[in-house]
A and B are shown apart, each in its own frame.
Chain A
Amino acid sequence: MSRIVIVDYSCGNIDSVQSAVNYHGQKSIITRDFEIIRNAEKIILPGQGSFKTGIKNLKKYGLFDLLKTKTLEDKVPILGICLGMQIFATYGFEEGKEYGLNLIPGKVDKLTTAELKLPHIGWNQIKKKREDALLQNIKDETDFYFVHSFSFICDDENDILTTTKYQNTFVSGVCRKNIFGLQFHPEKSLAPGLQIIKNFINI
């Protein structure tokens, strides 16, 4: 079984991502080593924190262009979680405009809320926009754990995998070919979350 590479770019708790992968008996490695990531057959890009910091750290560790090559040219499956998903976008607006990896065209902007508070924190349900291997055995309207204040706005509606409603409906999952992104935390969403991790392992 090939190893899953979990990219460590100094953005949040990634131990739990590894625990969820290990739970399925899948080997994984947490790393920012260029060579290991260059040889990866599957990548998870976790992350918490701001869009700007995420991109800055990827560049600092020399991983920005590598991740683009791996996913767009080598077509290696990648799963972005939370901030990891957001930085797939063309650009983001957290702490000022910043260009992202542009793996899935779109932008990341603050959730619009009226009386509801931010961050959007807690369990909320997903609405499937289409079926996908990543969502195998996941019932529509299953609850997952969210914690975020910004969300992905796709240029192409076909890239939207799931949506979720807080004050307004936002994109909670994206997918374009080998590129998968989830706004929620599967590694913290009990059995349904572990199922999604399993699905990604099996892709």
Chain B
Amino acid sequence: MLKIRIIPSLLFNGSNLVKGKKFNSWRTVGSVFQNIKLYSLRNVDELIFLDIKAYKNKTIDFNLIDDFADECFMPLTVGGGIRNIQDIEETLRRGADKVSINSAAFHNHKLIDNAVKYFGSQCIILSIDYKMDEKGNKRIFLNSEKKLSNIDLFEYIDKIDSSKPGEILLTSVDHDGMMEGYDIDTIKKINQFSNTPIIASGGAGSAEDIYAVIKEANVKAVAASSIFHFTEITPLNVKNYLSSKGIKVRKN
């Protein structure tokens, strides 16, 4: 039986790992190598590393990826700044198992299509950030431009699902860093609506929050960041809790 994955996500600002609230008020939370070594020792299910400045700055730090990828004997997703097939190729060549694509896919829908044809869907993750507008509709948020687009979340996924990305990393900006629980309602709807496996992201503050999104939205993977940076809770604690609730997790 497929196990639930608990995936720590690491956000990099070009010099340190950071974590904010609602994609703002960033706090430094440590160094890249420290964290990756720690998560390696802790045998986490998987890791996501996102360079949040790379797209705007038009630089991907391939040497850094090269260095820390060697530490990862678990699946590693790398994102931030990926604009084209060459970027994907180089990121994979430097040791990422999967790449996460966000802004570039929004601006060029064909990119996911081409990337999947070229590399296979197994290594292409479509990352989507969304935020609620004043009418209560969920729209795509573009972190690189710090603006809410006029594109509806469901319309966007409807369009891009046919490109068959391997997974969708779905982040609610309104819930990000707040540690008050996931946007279960939206995640559940998207999970039912899309044919692509969903990684729920944004809002985990406790093991109960993670249990709730798995149970209610029926996702097979969750990403979390603040909970691991700002509390004593480890991915293993979460998995033990899930296990006590009857959720299947990886034990070895």
Q: Using CB atoms and an 8 Å cutoff, list the residues of chain A in contact with chain B.
A: 12-13, 15-16, 19-20, 23, 48-50, 116-117, 119-125, 139, 142-143, 145, 147-149, 165-166, 185, 187-194
Contact = CB atoms under 8 A, between A and B. Distances in A.
Contact of B167 (A23, A121, A123, A187): A121
Nearest to B121: A119
B134 to A, nearest CB: 33
Interface in B224-251: 250-251
B122 A19 contact: no
17 contacts: A13-B92, A16-B73, A16-B95, A16-B97, A48-B119, A48-B120, A49-B119, A117-B197, A119-B166, A121-B122, A139-B252, A145-B46, A145-B75, A147-B75, A147-B123, A165-B1, A189-B73
Contacts, number: 100
Given A122-B221, A143-B251, A13 B73 contact: no
Interface of B: 1-5, 43, 45-46, 69-70, 72-75, 92-97, 119-123, 166-167, 195-197, 220-221, 250-252
A12 B120 contact: yes
A166 B4 CA distance: 13
A194 to B, nearest CB: 6
Nearest to A186: B73
Residue from B94, B120, B121 having most chain A Cβ neighbours under 10 A: B120
B95 A13 contact: yes
A122 B220 contact: yes
Contacts of B75: 145, 147, 185, 188
Contacts of B70: 19
A189 B96 CA distance: 14
A74 B166 CA distance: 38
Task: Please provide the 6 A-B residue pairs with the shortest distance between their CB atoms, ordered closest to farther.
Answer: A49-B120, A123-B250, A123-B3, A147-B122, A143-B250, A15-B95
B93 A13 contact: yes
B95 A121 contact: no
Contacts of B120: 12, 48-50
A189 B46 CA distance: 10
Nearest to A166: B2
Contacts of B122: 48, 119, 121, 147-149
A113 B119 CA distance: 23
A117 B196 CA distance: 7
Nearest to A194: B73
A125 B250 CA distance: 9
A122 B97 contact: no
B69 A15 contact: yes
B251 to A, nearest CB: 7
Contacts of A15: 69, 93-95
Given A49-B119, A185-B97, 4 more contacts: A13-B92, A13-B96, A49-B120, A123-B5
Given A117-B195, A188-B97, A16 B166 contact: no
Contacts of A121: 122, 166-167, 197, 220-221
A119 B197 CA distance: 8
Contacts of B166: 119, 121, 147
Nearest to A47: B120
Nearest to B199: A121
Contacts of A165: 1
B38 to A, nearest CB: 14
A49 B166 CA distance: 12
Nearest to B4: A122
